[in-house]
Amino acid sequence: MIMTVAAARTAMLVAGLALASTTSGAGAVSLSVKRACMSDYFAFCSKHSVGSPGLRQCMSNAGSRLSKTCVSALVAAGEVSKSEVDRRTASR
């Protein structure tokens, strides 16, 4: 199987995120959130390290621009409450 450069980079990123998710500690983000929010990360917050406080703040600031898939994963992982999502949606 021949991979394009973009596909190879994506595969490497997913592998790197998978490895990063196996580390323990405060600020760890689940692999499911990383997968669901990957495009949002690249669109809005790629200058921040995965799992960093800066990334969390950037994603929070991007709030209403995040994909529904990402927001759902963040809610499921307990990164943000459903009530906070509802509050922000109502204030648009």
Give the pLDDT confidence of 10-43 residue by residue, as tens digits: 544 544 444 344 344 455 678 899 899 999 999 9
Task: Tell me the DSSP string of the chain.
Answer: ----HHHHHHHHHHHHHHHHHTS-STT---HHHHHHHHHHIIIIITTSPTT-HHHHHHHHHHGGGS-HHHHHHHHHTTSS-HHHHHHHHHT-
User: 9 pLDDT exceeds 70?
Assistant: no
Both structure tokens of 59: 């994603």
- Chain segment 46-58, per-residue pLDDT in tens: 999 887 889 889 9
pLDDT of residue 40: 95
Q: Is 45's pLDDT higher than 90?
A: yes
* Res. 75: pLDDT tops 70: yes
For the record, the structure tokens of 51 come out as 């799992």
Q: Locate the domains of the chain by residue range.
A: 5-90
**pLDDT of 79:** 86
Instruction: Say if residue 59's pLDDT is above 60.
Output: yes
